[in-house]
Amino acid sequence: MAVKLNKREKISVAAAAGCLVVFVLLQFLVFPLLDKNDRMGRTLLARQHELEEIKVLQTEYRQTADKAQQMQRHLKSRQRGFTLFSFLESLARQTGVKSQIAYMKPSSTLLKDRGYRISMVEMKLQDVTMGQLLAYLHGIETSRDMIAIKRLSVSKGEQKADLINTVFQVETLEM
């Protein structure tokens, strides 16, 4: 059954069909391509940020690895038979605080998977001047033997106001 349409109806049907074709093209071809393009752009941007982060982490890793190698070289270049206890005792003699040592308590912890030991000495100095303490601490911190002060507590001397007491922990790595 053929329906006769006048010219105006034919134009309307053709316009509707054209709109339908444009709608289908936009909905199923153009918009998905644009969405995919946007997703790819966001993914690319995210990957660029990840790459920048990886480069920063790579730089940090290399610096850390270089420091570890440098520390290993320093440890190997130490004098044979080096011990933290004897170093601290020798430094106390050099700086004139040996007679003010109340006690020295050595301890060590083995780092199983590394092959190193953390050697630690807790030490108490009594009735020392600020100058003596600073000279002793400076000798520890500036030593080439990678020695660090882990904890430090300072209090007033009991007998003279210008003298101080101090308790501190010193540690280093040993092979």
- Name, in order, each residue with C-beta under 8 angstroms of 23's C-beta and a sequence gap of 6 or more: none
Inter-CA distances, 154 with 102, 124, 134, 157, Å: 14, 10, 12, 9
pLDDT value for 1 = 64
pLDDT value for 63 = 96
pLDDT value for 125 = 92
- Name, in order, each residue with C-beta under 8 angstroms of 166's C-beta and a sequence gap of 6 or more: 124, 125, 128, 133, 152, 153, 154, 155
pLDDT value for 161 = 74
**165 and 103 Cβ atoms separated by less than 8 Å:** no
What is the distance between the alpha carbons of residues 6 and 10, in angstroms, rounded to a whole number?
Answer: 6
pLDDT value for 14 = 92
What is the distance between the alpha carbons of residues 124 and 170, in angstroms, rounded to a whole number?
Answer: 11
The residue count of the chain comes to 175
Topology (CATH level 3) of domain 82-172: Alpha-Beta Plaits (3.30.70)
| pLDDT tens, per residue, the chain with 175 residues | 667 888 998 899 999 999 999 999 888 888 999 999 999 999 999 999 999 999 999 999 999 999 888 888 877 777 777 888 999 999 999 999 999 999 999 998 887 777 778 899 999 999 898 999 999 999 999 988 888 999 999 988 777 778 899 999 999 887 7
What pairing do the DSSP bridges indicate for beta strands 116-128 and 147-156? unpaired
Instruction: Return the structure tokens found at 85.
Output: 């206890």
Nearest Cα neighbor of 87 from 25, 148, 37 is: 148
